[in-house]
Amino acid sequence: MSDDTNTNARNHHGFARRAMLRGAAVGAALPLLPTAVGGATAATARPRSADSAPDPDSASLRWLGTAGWRIDIGNRTVLFDPYLTRFSTGLFEAAFDPATKIKKTDAGLVREYAGSPELILVSHSHWDHIADVPYIAKATGARVVGTETTFHLLVAFGVDPLQISVVKGGEVLDFGGGLTVEVVASLHSRNKKHAYFAPGTRTAPPTTAPETISDLPEGDTLAFQVSAGAGGPALFLMGASDFSERAADGLRPDVAMVAVPSSSATHRYAPRLLRALGNPPVVVPVHWDNFETPLREPVVPDPTMDLTGLIDQVRRESPASRVVVPDYRTVYGGDLRPRR
């Protein structure tokens, strides 16, 4: 983990794809990646109120690559965009094939990385966000929260319709025990031509289960803010590098998982987003890795993603924010400090 810390303290905040044809090349991001976590600072405790359950020290997070996260709050697990069974589409070899077959989920990877989730939050329905969700949902019984398109695709894959909650943005879902999920209407990132892979929505299940990645359209995009009780962290989760400024305005997450933009198609992306979120105390860049390499191996940065540029913008626009560049192997505390 790379931990860019500004000494200015922040008070605790309250309740709150990237385009497949990518943008300009960037400088090397490898120096930002961790070499060790020994001696890292332990998670900082926050005071608890009577209705806060659990406390922030019981919250832990693990990056699943791409935009994905596993969030453990006490003995409860929430997954966001869990793409674990990675496979090659040619995207990172400049030979992208939309007819690539969807690979069967690796059950061993699910056991290792997904645990026993209670909730699966899905930002949108492209393969690198949803491909493993049908298996995980059927194997664990987890409730899936996503768009109407996500609903219809999962039903076609054999997921019980009663297991899926369709949302549009604006919903505030209370799962009890202090676990709250606010659904935020959002947008998909765009390439330099202001377009992106597989747009479109579904209003009914396909007659057969999807077989190729082009059978999985975006289907609108959501962001989520997960709150772990009044005394725990509020986590803003993005699955793509664009957003609705009006929908995000006023959210005040403690930690913002910010997708690295693949182009400059979105006007003043980082400054507008940071301002809307109230300059979060912790910013975590996501969706900058080569997500066609195995998850059990070290992170391989996508050299076309401007990770360094995003970090520089955060430092400039929100100097009090701490930037944490995650890796696959570290489990972090609720404030994104490595667990010992």
User: Where do the structural domains in the chain lie, given as residue ranges?
Assistant: 2-38+53-333
Buried b (16+ CB within 10 A) or exposed e, 67-78: bbbbbbbbebbb
For the ranges 25-29, 215-219, 227-231, 302-306, which has the lowest average pLDDT? 25-29
Q: What's residue 318's pLDDT?
A: 97
CA angle 145-223-291, nearest 5°? 90
Rounded mean pLDDT, 260-277: 95
Three-state DSSP class for residue 324: strand
Across 271-293, average pLDDT: 97
DSSP structural state of residue 53? -
Q: What share of the chain is helix, strand, coil (3-state, %, to 5)?
A: 20, 20, 60
Listed residue (333, 332, 336) closest to 323, CA to CA: 336
Confidence class for position 340, pLDDT limits 50, 70, 90: low
- Tokens 């540029």, residue located: 309
Q: Decide if 314 contacts 274 (C-beta within 8 A).
A: yes
60 in Cβ contact with 334 (< 8 Å): yes
Closest CA to 335 of 275, 256, 252, 239: 256
d(CA 282, CA 43): 13
**pLDDT exceeds cutoff 90 at 28:** no
Which pLDDT score, from 0 to 100, does residue 190 have?
87
Question: Who has greater pLDDT, 86 or 203?
Answer: 86
Tokens of 259: 């997708």
**In sequence order, what are the beta bridge partners of 258?**
285
pLDDT band with cut points at 50, 70 and 90 for residue 47: very low
Q: Return the C-alpha torsion angle 132, 202, 236, 34, nearest 10.
A: 40
Helix 307-317 with 269-276: angle, nearest 10 deg: 50
CATH class of 2-38+53-333: alpha beta
Mean pLDDT of the region 287-307:
95
Per-residue pLDDT of 143-174, as tens digits, reads 999 999 999 999 999 999 999 999 999 999 99
The confidence band for 26, taking pLDDT boundaries of 50, 70 and 90, is very low
pLDDT of residue 57: 54
